[in-house]
């Protein structure tokens, strides 16, 4: 069974962290992954930096710009991750935009993911119908789960189609804006979380965008299986360094 499916069966609310590979320094990727697992994170979203990250707010955009200047590439990421499964057992998901994957070669990219032990991909600009028609067989061949995003504006028909095509979890964007742009959740957002929960989808939902601390994590997971933190984590390592990761995780989910 894929590690994502196994993790989703655990009887607890899941915490995932997003970070940009190759940032702050190009060789920090593996250290951050290992430190996150030791700190009790349930799965990790590894950002593949891109020059035009449409869904990302200024904090993640800046980290991507610096990572690219550091020399981060798809080839470099796979080189860094080649031995990761000898040390890390939790699910690892690569979040990236479709253009670099297309340039790398979709089949070749998926094969490399399987080789190093990646469990799934999040590709915000790859529409579900295009994926289903053209790429799903490739992903399935290499044991990869493709994770799709939904927003408060996504129609019920499309959500149910995403649920039908998916086999991992659904990334539930808490807002229609970019990452890092919200502070806490209003009643409208909480009602959206409840509405999706009441749809009784076959895939669990994990909330992203706007989670930064224990309060927002608890709000996000009242109706969902888990939550992903990105911008707040990157801001923390900017200020305190990667060795302070355990302290950050404790502010979200105290022991």
The yes-or-no answer on residue 45 being catalytic is yes
The yes-or-no answer on residue 56 being catalytic is yes
**CA distance linking residue 193 with residue 79, whole number of Å:** 38
For residue 55, count CB atoms less than 10 angstroms from its CB and return exposed for 0-12, middle for 13-18, buried for 19 or more.
middle
The continuous run of DSSP H or E covering 43 comes out as strand 43-47
Alpha-helical (H) ranges within 142-230 are 156-165, 187-197, 214-220
Identified catalytic residue from 45, 119, 163, 219:
45
Identified catalytic residue from 28, 42, 56, 119:
56
**CA distance linking residue 45 with residue 199, whole number of Å:** 26
**CA distance linking residue 139 with residue 113, whole number of Å:** 10
- Tell the residue number behind the tokens 């990302």, with chain if given: 56
**CA distance linking residue 60 with residue 192, whole number of Å:** 25
Q: Which residues are identified as catalytic? A: 45, 56
């Amino acid at each position: 069974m894929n590690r994502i499916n196994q993790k989703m069966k655990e009887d607890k609310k899941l915490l995932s962290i997003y970070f940009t590979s190759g940032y702050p320094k190009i060789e920090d990727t593996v250290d951050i992954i290992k430190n996150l697992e030791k700190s009790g994170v349930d799965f990790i979203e590894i950002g593949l930096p891109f020059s035009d990250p449409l869904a990302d707010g200024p904090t993640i955009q800046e980290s991507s710009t610096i990572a690219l200047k550091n020399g981060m590439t798809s080839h470099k990421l796979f080189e860094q991750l080649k031995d990761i499964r000898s040390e890390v057992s939790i699910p690892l998901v690569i979040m990236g935009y479709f253009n670099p994957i297309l340039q790398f070669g979709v089949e070749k990219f998926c094969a490399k993911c399987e080789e190093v032990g990646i469990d799934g991909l999040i590709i915000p600009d790859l529409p579900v119908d295009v994926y289903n028609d053209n790429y799903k067989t490739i992903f399935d061949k290499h044991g990869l789960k493709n994770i799709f995003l939904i927003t408060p504006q996504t129609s019920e028909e499309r959500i149910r189609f995403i649920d039908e095509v998916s086999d991992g979890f659904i990334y539930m964007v808490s807002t229609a804006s970019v990452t890092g742009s919200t502070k806490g959740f209003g009643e409208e957002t909480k009602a959206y979380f409840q509405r999706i929960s009441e749809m009784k989808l076959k895939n669990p939902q994990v909330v992203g965008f706007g989670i930064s601390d224990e309060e927002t994590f608890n709000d996000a997971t009242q109706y969902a299986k888990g939550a992903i933190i990105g911008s707040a984590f990157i801001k923390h390592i900017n200020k305190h360094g990667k060795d302070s990761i355990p302290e950050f995780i404790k502010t979200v989910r105290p022991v």
